[in-house]
Amino acid sequence: MNLVFMGTPEIARRALEYLYNNTPHKIIAVVTGPDKPAGRGRKMHPTPVKKTAKQFGLPVFTPDSLEDDTFIKQMREIGADVFVVIAFRILPVKLFSIPPKGSINLHGSLLPKYRGAAPINWAIINGETETGLTTFFLQKKVDTGNIIYREKINIDPDDNFSSLYDKMADLSGPVIEKTLDLIESDQIELIKQDDSLATPAPKISPFDCLIDWGFPVKNVVNFIRGMSAVPGAFTYFRGKKVKVFRVKNSGMNLSEKLRPGQIIPDKHKLLIAVADGAVEVEELLPEGKTKMTGNQFLQGYKPADKEIFGEMPKGVKN
């Protein structure tokens, strides 16, 4: 089949690369976001998808608006059988209804669970042990279309956002290939989503990343896993922001109730009191410093008795 591929970040790029190199389906055009300034020099950089598409010599469209009449006309005239959408913008009805075999989306959860912009983060934060990839036909309401194909993925205890994202990115191409093959064969058994089973996965704001040390060990560990390394869970220490990338259950049973966030004295481990015990901070990044281990933090900052992680400086806005 002839397809138009739409996407922006790494997970979409890997799918594009896989489809181009490993399937008979022909990518006749790519739609992605416009170049953006990045780095110290603020030079313009293409999206990962655009960079790969150019390497393959594929036509690339970077419309400012998906409602643009000229762009819509171009998509009508291009002759695609299907649109493939991965980690892109919300398509208007007049765009996704163009191809005769429909427009499909790849979503990073087992729909209808975790509908929304951040399904990978929220699955880990909520302590799930299994998630997956789902392909479905686009409908006007986001993430509600009829399901074509689902593939399960285990969430291992040491997985964080970054590692689970990589798992999904590696599977994105094969899952899209299976989906396209099903569409081409006309052997799809569509599954209507049960809205009563739907759970939300809303976009994560900067404030959502603030660590609450008042939760139990399991919740704190899962929260930091789900935010690591992107967008990054954080706390405060001595008036400065500290990103926390990796913690684990310390296994400690505290003999007395400590204030959540209190640093527990230890010569080698950075231990933080939480609701039902303590976590050990293994990797963190204090503001203005380089990434370090918990032990390096102890040696450099030498926390005083009963110092606290988490006291927000007055006037600070997240």
256-306 pLDDT per residue, tens: 889 999 999 999 999 999 999 999 999 999 999 999 999 999 999 999 999
pLDDT given for residue 312 in this prediction: 83
CA count, 13 A, side-chain hemisphere, 310: 18
Tell me which fold the domain 207-301 belongs to: Methionyl-tRNA Fmet Formyltransferase; Chain A, domain 2 (3.10.25)
Confidence of residue 203 (pLDDT cuts 50, 70, 90): very high
Confidence of residue 136 (pLDDT cuts 50, 70, 90): very high
Say what percent of the chain tops pLDDT 90.
92
* Residue 255 identity: S
The token pair that represents 124 in the structure block: 């880990």
Confidence of residue 317 (pLDDT cuts 50, 70, 90): low
β strands within 141-276, DSSP E: 147-154, 233-237, 240-249, 263-264, 270-274
Task: Assess whether pLDDT exceeds 90 at residue 228.
Answer: yes
> 38 has which bridge partners?
43
Domain limits, the chain: 2-197, 207-301
- Residue 218 three-state SS: helix
> Top-level CATH class of 2-197?
alpha beta
- pTM for this predicted structure: 0.95
> 134 has which bridge partners?
107, 150
Average pLDDT, the chain: 96
Region 91-104: mean pLDDT is: 98
